[in-house]
Chain A
Amino acid sequence: MKKKPLKERLLQGNEAVVEGSLSAGCRFFAGYPITPATEIAEQLSVRLPQVDGTFIQMEDEIASLGAVIGASLAGVKSMTATSGPGFSLMQENLGFAIIAEVPCVVVNAMRGGPSTGLPTSPSQSDVMQSRWGTHGDHPIIVLCPSTVRECFDLTIRAFNYSEKYRIPVILLIDEVVAHMREKIIIPDDEDIEIVNRVRPTMPPEWYIPYEDTPRGVPAMADFGEGYRYHVTGLTHDVRGFPTSRPDEVDPFIRRLFRKVSQNFADLQIGEHFHVDDADVAIIAYGCVARSAKRAVSDCREKGIKAGMLKLNTIWPFMRTDVEKVLRQAKVVIVPEMNMGQISREVKRVNKGEAKVFTINRVDGTIITPQEIMARIKEVY
């Protein structure tokens, strides 16, 4: 067998997102310039036209996500990328994509906030906004890479999940990972699993666009293919027409939740690093997981049984894995670059099995392995 040349590249996190999106089949990007996500737009403005895709720079982030949803309804995999202030503007149409079940990917390269905040400094303070930023009760899927390779892989996963579950998926990157460069080997196309939305195969007159199915995910017709149907941001019946009947609204909202909740197992991505026998466990994500990994290795060298659970899936919260860690470890430390957004979740699922400590940093600088080591010494 002839060995293929490795696609070895030195890439920035944002560039890996671009490569991942193109591999996943993204052919439409609408965005608005913002630090630290701009590289994604710049590169896609070069790459998308080369593959007969479309790049457009819109007048703001509201318009960007609107255009992305429009393109997705036309049948084209679509993405936008932004940072905190733009992500705030996108909350409106994010809710639309959720209720109308339009697949799309939103990249949020997190910077310090609130408001204009710290444009060029890292932060992880949009964890809760990514969960609850748009109004109304809703499910969401949020993924968080901590390496450049994960930027590539999780972008593809984000597209796959969004297509599979007809839901917007948010890729939450922090500024460190977005701008960091690492060597990655880009897999061959045939080694990448690509999921496409299920399209209706029945004749148009039989098509029920928002019909409940065992998976909870209805087939999705592209606009302009003979399946004329109605898409609305109002609560709707199975035909897509607005309804406020309690007996139609309730099953609809519950189905939106069910399509995510009954697939928790499929949605949990994480890394267990020496955590199975750990007395001291660190639960981390994004760039902080890199420091945590180093701290764990240093601890192990010193004979401290430390370990790390890295969360790549932020939402839905990896409850099962976290509970296992809480049962095993005596002490759990949650370092994060916010005032305690994931630690709050960890404490919520902790049934008094472990002591949960936090490290919080909100000054726009990263949490170092030394800081984590110091905290371990302090509490263990």
Chain B
Amino acid sequence: MGDITKLIHHYLRHDKKFPHVWCPGCGIGIILGALIRAVDHKGYEKDEIVLVSGIGCTGRLPVYVDFNTLHTTHGRALTFATGMKLAKPRLKVIVVMGDGDAVAIGGNHFIHAARRNIDLTAIIVNNSVYGMTGGQYSPTTPYGMKTATSVYSNVEHSFSMSELAVTAGAVFVGRGTVYHAKLLESLMEKAFQKVGFSVVEIISHCHTQYGRMNRMGSAVEMMEWQRDHAVTMEKAAQMKEEDLKGKFRIGVLIDRDLPPYQDEYERVRRWSKGVGGE
């Protein structure tokens, strides 16, 4: 058996759940592949991993993977994950969300999970649109783009979830694209290894909805767009701000050490028992 086949047999619920729900050419397949390879490289046991998701195309990801999997309500994945992690800190908790899930309906939970520094990894698939419901604009749909609910033009401004995560207190934030699959894998590995709230934002594409409405072409053409508009952190540092207009940075945005919530709470437990004397 080839290495990939071995990975598939080991990690996927291949005999139960396929075919999957995603459109042909969707970026989520590449992301799932990167996730599995990153988990495999880190050598985690399947039993210790909890994969949590919310609602949307990305929300369907956990069902295909042979971990402890939890498909929660829209936007609330991080809250379930918070309870899970604090109740059983030995579990390795990974949360996968889409852009609408993570920063629209779940925006508040995202900010506070980062602020608390809950020890888990949030993988966010940012395809700038609500795909599953038919392509409505999301908080990351750029100004001026067309969607099913902005057929004239989107008059709202998007924001950067990665920069938001940095400001809110995440200890690790990385951004990649579906095109840069190897980078994605290494960002995930770094995020998994990090103790504390880590974020990997992945610029993906929805050629079925967003691409079609904005005449951006096929999945391949949209991935080429990712290649042409992504600038590595190193390169961006050398560039002028005006040259970076319309482009986005990929790589590690922040990597810092802060005590995770469960360690801080362990101190609370000691204080509550009158020991520890800090």
Residues of A within 8 A of B (CB): 27-28, 30, 46, 49-50, 52, 54, 56, 58-60, 62-76, 78, 92-93, 96, 222-226, 228-234, 239, 241-242
Return chain A residues, CB-CB under 8 Å to B218.
none
Q: Known: A49-B269, A58-B112, A63-B112. Is A228-B79 also a contact (CB below 8 A)?
A: no
Closest B-chain residue to A50, C-beta based? B272
Q: Known: A74-B88, A224-B91. Is A67-B82 also a contact (CB below 8 A)?
A: yes
* Min C-beta distance of A265 to chain B, whole Å: 33
- Provide a sorted-by-A list of 16 A–B residue pairs whose CB atoms are within 8 angstroms: A46-B272, A58-B112, A60-B108, A62-B76, A66-B80, A67-B86, A69-B72, A70-B52, A73-B70, A76-B87, A96-B73, A222-B88, A224-B90, A230-B70, A232-B70, A239-B16
Taken residue by residue from 67 to 111, chain B's Cβ proximity to chain A (1 for < 8 Å, 0 otherwise) reads as 111111100100111111111101100000000000000001101
Contact of B68 among A66, A72, A96, A229 (CB under 8 A): A229
Please tell me if the beta carbons of A56 and B86 are within 8 angstroms of each other in the complex.
Answer: yes
Closest B-chain residue to A28, C-beta based? B87
Please tell me if the beta carbons of B46 and A228 are within 8 angstroms of each other in the complex.
Answer: yes
* Min C-beta distance of A217 to chain B, whole Å: 20
Please tell me if the beta carbons of A224 and B47 are within 8 angstroms of each other in the complex.
Answer: yes
Return chain A residues, CB-CB under 8 Å to B62.
230
Q: Known: A30-B83, A63-B79. Is A96-B72 also a contact (CB below 8 A)?
A: yes
* Min C-beta distance of A319 to chain B, whole Å: 32
Return chain A residues, CB-CB under 8 Å to B67.
228
Question: Given A63-B112, A65-B79, A67-B83, 15 more contacts at CB 8 Å?
Answer: A28-B86, A28-B87, A50-B273, A56-B86, A66-B80, A67-B80, A67-B86, A70-B70, A74-B87, A228-B47, A228-B66, A228-B69, A231-B70, A232-B71, A241-B16
**Residue B265 is within 8 A (CB to CB) of chain A in the complex:** yes
- Chain B: interface residue total (CB-CB under 8 A): 40
Q: Known: A49-B265, A49-B268, A54-B265. Is A70-B81 also a contact (CB below 8 A)?
A: yes
**Residue B63 is within 8 A (CB to CB) of chain A in the complex:** yes
Return chain B residues, CB-CB under 8 Å to A68.
83
Please tell me if the beta carbons of B86 and A223 are within 8 angstroms of each other in the complex.
Answer: no
Whole-angstrom CA separation of A75 from B50 in the bound complex: 14
Return chain A residues, CB-CB under 8 Å to B48.
224
Return chain B residues, CB-CB under 8 Å to A96.
72-73
Contact of A230 among B63, B85, B90, B273 (CB under 8 A): B63
Return chain A residues, CB-CB under 8 Å to B82.
30, 56, 58, 63, 66-67, 70
Return chain A residues, CB-CB under 8 Å to B66.
228
Give the one of B76, B81, B273 with max A CB within 10 A.
Answer: B76
Please tell me if the beta carbons of B46 and A74 are within 8 angstroms of each other in the complex.
Answer: no
Contact of B63 among A63, A65, A224, A232 (CB under 8 A): A232
* Min C-beta distance of B63 to chain A, whole Å: 5
Please tell me if the beta carbons of A230 and B69 are within 8 angstroms of each other in the complex.
Answer: yes
* Min C-beta distance of A42 to chain B, whole Å: 13
Return chain B residues, CB-CB under 8 Å to A27.
87
Please tell me if the beta carbons of B269 and A223 are within 8 angstroms of each other in the complex.
Answer: no
Contact of A52 among B81, B112, B269 (CB under 8 A): B269
Please tell me if the beta carbons of A67 and B79 are within 8 angstroms of each other in the complex.
Answer: yes
* Min C-beta distance of B14 to chain A, whole Å: 13
Give the one of B66, B80, B91 with max A CB within 10 A.
Answer: B80
Number of A-B contacts (CB under 8 A): 141
Please tell me if the beta carbons of A71 and B265 are within 8 angstroms of each other in the complex.
Answer: no
Please tell me if the beta carbons of A66 and B108 are within 8 angstroms of each other in the complex.
Answer: no
Whole-angstrom CA separation of A78 from B68 in the bound complex: 19
Give the one of B67, B70, B85 with max A CB within 10 A.
Answer: B70
**Residue B182 is within 8 A (CB to CB) of chain A in the complex:** no
Whole-angstrom CA separation of A27 from B86 in the bound complex: 11
Contact of A66 among B83, B87, B265 (CB under 8 A): B83
Q: Known: A49-B272, A239-B16. Is A78-B69 also a contact (CB below 8 A)?
A: no
Please tell me if the beta carbons of A74 and B84 are within 8 angstroms of each other in the complex.
Answer: yes
Please tell me if the beta carbons of B79 and A62 are within 8 angstroms of each other in the complex.
Answer: yes
Please tell me if the beta carbons of B47 and A226 are within 8 angstroms of each other in the complex.
Answer: yes
Return chain A residues, CB-CB under 8 Å to B41.
none
Please tell me if the beta carbons of B91 and A223 are within 8 angstroms of each other in the complex.
Answer: yes
Please tell me if the beta carbons of B83 and A78 are within 8 angstroms of each other in the complex.
Answer: yes
Return chain B residues, CB-CB under 8 Å to A65.
79
Q: Known: A46-B272, A63-B112, A239-B16. Is A233-B73 also a contact (CB below 8 A)?
A: yes
Whole-angstrom CA separation of A246 from B81 in the bound complex: 31
Give the one of B88, B111, B271 with max A CB within 10 A.
Answer: B88
* Min C-beta distance of B82 to chain A, whole Å: 5
Give the one of A70, A226, A231 with max B CB within 10 A.
Answer: A70
* Min C-beta distance of A74 to chain B, whole Å: 4
Residues 106 to 155 of chain B near chain A (Cβ within 8 Å) = 108-109, 111-112
Return chain B residues, CB-CB under 8 Å to A223.
50, 68, 70, 84, 88, 91
Please tell me if the beta carbons of B76 and A63 are within 8 angstroms of each other in the complex.
Answer: yes
Closest B-chain residue to A48, C-beta based? B272
**Residue B157 is within 8 A (CB to CB) of chain A in the complex:** no
A-B CB proximity, top 3 nearest: A66-B79, A70-B83, A67-B83
Give the one of A27, A30, A52, A74 with max B CB within 10 A.
Answer: A74
Return chain A residues, CB-CB under 8 Å to B50.
223-224
Return chain B residues, CB-CB under 8 Å to A50.
269, 272-273
Closest A-chain residue to B274, C-beta based? A50
**Residue B256 is within 8 A (CB to CB) of chain A in the complex:** no
**Residue B17 is within 8 A (CB to CB) of chain A in the complex:** yes
Return chain B residues, CB-CB under 8 Å to A73.
70, 80, 83-84
Closest B-chain residue to A27, C-beta based? B87
Closest B-chain residue to A95, C-beta based? B73
Closest B-chain residue to A231, C-beta based? B70
Residues 247 to 278 of chain B near chain A (Cβ within 8 Å) = 265, 268-269, 271-273
Q: Known: A50-B272, A241-B63. Is A228-B87 also a contact (CB below 8 A)?
A: no
